[in-house]
Every structure is written in C-alpha cells, then in structure tokens.
Structure 1
Amino acid sequence: FLPLIASGRAVGSCILGFDRPRGFSPEERTVLTALAGLIAQALKRAQRYDSESALARGLQNALLPHRLPEVDGVDTLGRYLSGTQGMDVGGDWYDVIETGHELALIIGDVQGHGVSAAATMGQLRSAVRAFALSSHDPQEVMSGTNRLLIDLDPGQFASCCYIALDPVTGVARAVRAGHPQPVLRRPDGRTEVLDLPGGIVLGIDEQASYPVTEMRLEPGAMLALFTDGLIERPGTDIDEGIERLRATVERIGAVPLAETADQVIGEARAATDRPDDIAILLAARWAETQKVRRLREDQAPGPDLWRTFRRPDPGRAAGAPDPAS
C-alpha cells in the first residue's frame, strides 16, 4: 500500500498486488516510494485540470446568452462549440441586443483559453451590452470597450465585430476590431465576403479608431458572423478558410438557420482533427414584417387601402358594414 502525497496532502493510495507473499528490499522500497510520489503529482495535476476545465466551461455557459430576443422582421441563431482534444474552453462569444429601434449583432473572440479567457469574455460582453443599451453608436461602443479592456489589463486582447441593424429598413452600421469579415448571402443566392474596414484588436491601443461602414441587408438576405475557429486550418491561409465558408453558405442556399449552422459547423469539424472553439451568429431578414405593414397602413391614402391589410372580424355577419371603415 503506497500513500499518494502531493504538497503535504493525501490525494489517494496505490495498491500493488502479487500472486504470493514477498518482502521488499530497501532499494525496492526506495523505488516504490519515488513511484508513489510521481503518481501523486500526476494525479493532482489531472484533478486540477479537470477542476479548471469544469470551471471554465461553467463560466462560458453562464456568460453566453441562454436565448436570443425575438424581433419582428429578423431571425437570429447563435451556436457555440468548445474545442476538443485537451484544449480548454475559450473566450468566444456572441450576443444579440435590442437597442431601441435597432438590433445589435455582436461576435467576439478573446485570446487564449481557460478560466482567464472565459472571465475576460464575460467582462467584454457586459461592457458591449452596457454601451449598446446606452444608445451609443457602433464606433463609440467599440472604442469604449477597447478602453475598458486596457484599463482592466488582463494581459489579453480580443477581436470583435458589431453590427447595428434596423429590422424595418434593413440599414446596418458595422464596425470591426481585428475580427474576420462577415459573410453575406443575398436574396438571389449570391454570397460574398464583406469588405468592412476596421481597427486593430481590442486591448492594444487606447487611441485606436474603428470606422463605421453602412450597408443594407435586403429582405431575404442572411448575414453570418463567426470566430476564427470556423475557418482556420493548420498549414493553410485564413483567407482560404473564409472563401471555403462563403462557398459552403452559397451551396447550402436558403434553408432554415439551424440547418445552415449545422452544415457549416459540421464541415469545419470534419476538416481538422484539432478544432478550436467555434462561435457563429446568423441573422436573416424577412421579406416583409408586421412593422413594415403597419407603416404602409399608416401611410394609406384612404379606408379602402386600410381594409386590405385588416384582419377580418370573425364576429361580423356576412354583408354587415365594417365599423372600422
């Protein structure tokens, strides 16, 4: 029986069995005692790894949104998958925030893995949400988050992409901080990688500027935001990964967002035996929304046009006058 002692504390015991009684020489006792010390250290490291991994995953799950807001005119879907084969959970995150008449689409990636990356991710997500809900424009949101990360000084940097979308008009204002370019699938099926000018990653330069690009998400279009785990492959350029994703989204076509996410993530997982963390946020604009219909009704020239948009009253007898006319 060998007690397993690490840092002065018992972490277990090792029992060696033999097929017949035997004694142990001083040399054998020395070897077995040294072996017990090595086993104890290895067991303690494994326990610490399991504890830190569980803590990091718990932080990640607690800090990511459990559900996304339901907004008339836009469907959104977010997915997060942690890396495998010994890689700790990372700092990838996504979020969707209602900011008055706009919808903020956010995706980001904190450098590194483990508890520290997950904790920094939570701080950045809270900062972006606070700035967005304070009616700041996209450039101010990104600049304020950058200054906050520098003040926190966690020894890490992060990339981020922030898009403020008007669900009624489809007008979007996008800002990017060292993050991969989003992919846009147009209503006719054509898919392109957006060319959004951006600034450096967050947490490096307090005076960094982040230009805003205005574009329009047409009815029936879909926007894909993602982290580098979806496109990076060992030994290949990241631009090849983005082009591969663009071609996949174009090939999939106009299918439900859940099916799109399943296919692009499945292909990313199959392409490498050592995947990184993956976060993806999809947003699709409807062809026509209730709010757009209400705007048309408000601008109608007379009661005849209004009645074409009214839901018929099931309680009114056939041929009876409509009291709303």
Structure 2
Amino acid sequence: MTAPPEVWKIASVTDAALARAAVGAITTAGGSPALERARFLTALTARLRRCLNQGGEWELLLHLRHDTGAQDGRVDVLLRPVDASWPSADDEPALTCPLPHQPVTGRVPARTPLPEALLRADENTAAVLDLLQEQERLVQLHREELHHTNQGVLALHSHLEAAALAQRELLEAERAARAEAERARRLLTFLGDASAAITVSLSPTAILRRLSDLLVPEYATRLDVWLFDEEDAPGHVREHAAAAVVAARTGRPQHAGPRPGNLPGIGDLPPSALSPERPLLAIPLGAHRLLGVLTLTAPGPRFDADTCITLVELARRVGIALDNARRYEQYRDTAETLQRAQLTDLPAVPGLLLTARYLPATWGLNIGGDWYDAFRQPDGSLLVVIGDVTGHGLHAAVVMGQLRTALRAYAIDDTSPGEILTQLHRMLRHLQPELYATALIARIRPGEPRVVWASAGHPPAVVRDDDGTVRVLDGKPGVMLGIPADHTYTDQVTRLPTGSSLVLYTDGLVERRARGIDAGIERLAQALAALRTPELEQDLDAGADAVLKHILHDSERDDDVCLLVCHRLTAIAQEPLPSA
C-alpha cells in the first residue's frame, strides 16, 4: 500500500530545515537504523542545499510505501522545481530509506517547530556517534587482537627462521661430517692400497717406482728419495733440501714453506731454496733404523693436516718395506753364492759332451735346493746326478751341499746308483728327519752303449736318440729320500748309443701350476726332437739354451730350474781332424 505523496514547498532555509526535520521524524518513527537514517538525511540535506543554491521554489515529494501484509516498508523523497513536469528526465533519482516498522498510515505528522527540529537533528548525529564509538571500540579490540596475532606470527616466524637456521646448520654440519668421513675413508683406502702395492715387492727399485706412481701428481708434484747407503757409493753425491737434512739429523718430519704449516707432529722451517714458492715436506724413512728421507713438493699452496698424517704413516711403511727388501737382498745373495759354490764344473770325458744350466726362481726368495753334479770314477766311468731338496732358502741350500758331499763319498767304492741312493736315504732320515729330496743318478761308461740309472722320486730322465726320437725313462722310481720308511733302490738300464743324448732335469723345468707335469715332459720331448744331432755335437750349449727357451719362454718362475745334458758323440765326431 502506498499513501498519496506529501508535498512540501521549499523556498527558504527555514522550509528546508522544517522539511528535513519532518522526514527525520518519519524515519525515526519507522525504526530506520541510525546509520541508514544518517546517510539518508545527509543526502537529503545535500540536495536541499543544492536546491537553495539554485534558487526558486522547489517541491519535496514524500512517499510512504509498504506492501500489504508486510511489517516493513520504505520512504522515498524526491525534489523538483515547482511547475515542472512529472516526471522529468532531468530529475535526480529519489532518495530511499528503509523503514523496519510499518509506517503510520495517513498524512505526515504536523510540522515540528524549528527550534525543536534543530534539537532533534542532533539525535541522529548522537546515534551515529554512539554507533561510531561502538565500532571504534570493536576496531580497537580487533586491532589489539590483530596486534597479538601479529606478535604471535612474528614470534612464529622468528621460531621458524631459527628452526630453519638450525636445520641449515645441521645440514651443513652433516654435509661437512659426511665430507670429512668420505675424505678419511679415501685416505684410509689410499693408505691400504699403497701399502699393499709397496709391500708386494722385495725390490727397492720397484718399491720406489711404485711410490712415485702412487703420490704424483695427486699428493705431490714431485718427490725426492734420499737413501743414506747410496751416498756411500761414488758418484752419488747430490744436493738435498735443508728440511731433508734436518729430518735426517733429528728423525722428525719437517715442513718448509712461505708460511708455517702448523701440522701435527711436524716441525716448521723457512722456505727451501730449492722450492721457494711451494711447501716441502721431508719425512724420515725407516722404522727400526733410519734409511733415508722422502721429500715431497706440495701439489697446491699448502699441505693438508690429514693428508700429512697419512703420508707420514705411508713413509713409515715404505721404510719397513725398504728395510725388508735390503735384508732380503743380502739373504738372497748369501744363499745364491752358497748354492752356486755347490755347483761343480763339468769334467771332460772322451766320447761325451756335457752341459748344464741352473736358473734360480724369478719369484720369491730365488734360492732352492736344486743341484746337479758330474764326476769321474776311478774306473773311468762318469757319474751324473741331478737332485732337488724340498723347500727354499739357506737351509735347503745347506742340505743340498750335504747330499752332494755324501753322494761323492758313497760313490768312491764303485757303488751302483741304486746303492748310493739307498745310503743317501738312510743318511737324510738320520740327519734331517723332516726334510726330503728327490734325486736321479746315472752311470755312463765310455764305449758302452748303455746307461745304469736309479731314481728317488725324481722326474724321469729323457733320452734323445740319433734320429730325433725321444724316449722317457719311465721305469718305476723309488720313494723320495728321507721318507720315514725303509727302502732299497734298484738299478735300471737303458740304451744310450752314439749320437744320442741323456737329459736330466728338475721339476721346475716341466711343472706348472695350471698344467700337469706330463704336459711339461711332452713339451720337453718336442723341444729335443726339434734339434739335430750335428748341431748338438757342434754346440751343445746352444742346444740346451734352445730347449730352455722353447719351454720357459723367458717367463716368470716360482721354482729353480736345473738341466744336465750328456751327449754321446758319433763315431764321425770322435775322429780327429786331419792334419794340415
């Protein structure tokens, strides 16, 4: 339902004030919210002021509207000049204010006196101010809450930042710890690998060569090894860094560089004249005794502490390896000298050619118990012997000498090869109960086309006939000498016509770990079959060398090799050359 519009004449400020007061009373009575009412009245006042400024008479049309059955409604206010058409395109839109309570039907209340209207005008302002004060209080509460929230957020951010910083520090510490552990693992691995590479050899030259390969260029740009025993040799005097001299005098590692190294357990010296730009590290070599000094030139501007500790330990192990190598060389030279002293000069026998070869092992101690012997008997016969004492070193060489001496003693009374071996067996069981030996003895009588021989567990001898046919003397051998059992060795006989050769050898010639001894004997037979009798009679030494080359191929050997060749000359070779 809409009441007829109430029209107010506006021609003066008083009219405008009274109209505004009347409209304010209506909105107040209709329960319009204070804020909506204040906005509505402020807009109305602005329009009234604008109308007054334009001059003339104006009409204020006031419409009270509400729907049938509804509790709320609204009030519409429109200002227009008097006598203007209705509506006009130039009219401003009506001002509207909601009325929560149903407006009073009928006409607008009578005009309120102006003084009273002025007093009531402040009621809206007071309501707005009260609302504003409440809003300011709420804003203050929210501001305080926001402040506390911001403080909490700042504190949370601070905690998060501190936690992130702590996490970064932990990550950095973990990364550094992992890098340090990896570096320590790499240094320990290097030390282990280097120690294995150095100690595998008993040659001082090979040890120093491997040391250079291990250290240059990662741990040093160059290295210098000063061995004291080389200084005693003529022509080996050379200049050494002052740090090396101090290390040799004090037995303590020394560091020489433009800046102090502050390395654990290492003295600091001024820069070396031999390397003024790069630091030097001089480390004594030796454990029980000082052998020399290892001097390293740093690969960079400084030496790392952990690396220096590793290098000092490696130098200690190098000193031990060099000391062991020197002792081994002395031991080997002594044993080899003793062994070669036991090897006899081959006798000259009419109708026979003799040659022998002895090759020490190229791996290990190089000294074994292999030996050969050949000597004339009172009846003119020739006794040839080859043997092998188990084991290596000085002990085996000494036992080999004892067997050689005893064999010559037992052979004086024209004793047969089997009887000689039987007596040697008894002697070895008595003197060396835990040491064994193999041996093969053959007796060759000039002019007789046969050979009497006996074997004590030795590889079988081989006969090469004049036509190149090779025979293996595979008669049943006796047990090894020294075995804890009584045994009598028997003699055996084989043919040895003119132009044929009797070949005796030790197992180092034919036995290989990857192959059996039978395959080695087969290779020996092939090498002998490839020779020609005239060539053998012309140069038996060259024939023996050809056999060794065919079988050994100049390869590494882990056992000694003995070869003894007895060749019976043909009738043509025995005839004297005609005189000129």
Alignment TM-score, normalising by the size of structure 2:
0.46
1:61 is matched with 340
Alpha carbons 1:229, 1:279 under 8 Å: kept: yes
Cα displacement (A) at 1:62: 1.1
Higher RCO (CA 8 Å, separation ≥ 6 residues): 1
Cα displacement (A) at 1:39: 2.5
Alpha carbons 2:468, 2:528 under 8 Å: kept: no
Instruction: Determine whether 1:12 maps to 2:292.
Output: yes
Cα displacement (A) at 1:259: 2.4
2:477 is matched with 198
Instruction: Determine whether 1:149 maps to 2:428.
Output: yes
Q: C-alpha offsets along residues 53-99 of structure 1, whole Å, 9 cap, x if unaligned? A: 1112111211111x211111211111111121445122211111111
Q: C-alpha offsets along residues 28-59 of structure 1, whole Å, 9 cap, x if unaligned? A: 77655534432322121111111111112111
Cα displacement (A) at 1:288: 4.3
Of all paired residues, the percent bearing the same amino acid is 36
> Counterparts of 1:182 and 1:80 in 2: how far apart (Å)?
17
> Counterparts of 2:572 and 2:402 in 1: how far apart (Å)?
35
Q: How many residues align?
A: 293
Give the counterpart of 1:34 among 309, 313, 324: 313
Alpha carbons 1:197, 1:211 under 8 Å: kept: no
2:560 is matched with 277
1:84 is matched with 362
2:407 is matched with 128
1:92-171 equivalence runs, <5 A: 92-101=370-379, 102-153=381-432, 155-171=434-450
> Counterparts of 2:544 and 2:323 in 1: how far apart (Å)?
39
* Comparing 15-24 and 113-122, the one that deviates more: 15-24
> Counterparts of 1:80 and 1:31 in 2: how far apart (Å)?
45
- Distance of aligned partners of 1:149 and 1:23 in 2 relative to their CA distance in 1, 3 Å threshold: same
Alpha carbons 2:335, 2:394 under 8 Å: kept: yes
> Counterparts of 2:327 and 2:294 in 1: how far apart (Å)?
19
Q: 2:548 corresponds to which letter in structure 1?
A: I
Cα displacement (A) at 1:253: 2.6
Alpha carbons 2:332, 2:365 under 8 Å: kept: no
- Distance of aligned partners of 1:251 and 1:5 in 2 relative to their CA distance in 1, 3 Å threshold: closer
Instruction: Determine whether 1:70 maps to 2:348.
Output: yes
Q: 2:374 corresponds to which letter in structure 1?
A: V
> Counterparts of 2:318 and 2:507 in 1: how far apart (Å)?
38
Q: C-alpha offsets along residues 175-227 of structure 1, whole Å, 9 cap, x if unaligned? A: 00111111111233321111222211112135122111023321222111111
Instruction: Determine whether 1:211 maps to 2:490.
Output: yes
Q: 1:168 corresponds to which letter in structure 2?
A: G
- Distance of aligned partners of 1:271 and 1:47 in 2 relative to their CA distance in 1, 3 Å threshold: closer
Q: C-alpha offsets along residues 230-276 of structure 1, whole Å, 9 cap, x if unaligned? A: 11123212111112211221121312222220111001221854463
Q: What CA RMSD, in Å, does the superposition of the two structures yield over aligned residues?
A: 3.0
2:259 is matched with none
Which structure: greater helix fraction? 2
> Counterparts of 1:46 and 1:209 in 2: how far apart (Å)?
45
Alpha carbons 2:366, 2:559 under 8 Å: kept: no
Q: 2:351 corresponds to which letter in structure 1?
A: G
Q: Which segments of 5 or more consecutive residues in structure 1 lack a partner in the other structure?
A: 294-310, 313-325
- Distance of aligned partners of 1:148 and 1:13 in 2 relative to their CA distance in 1, 3 Å threshold: farther
Alpha carbons 1:269, 1:275 under 8 Å: kept: no
> Counterparts of 2:356 and 2:475 in 1: how far apart (Å)?
21
> Counterparts of 1:143 and 1:288 in 2: how far apart (Å)?
36
Q: 1:128 corresponds to which letter in structure 2?
A: L
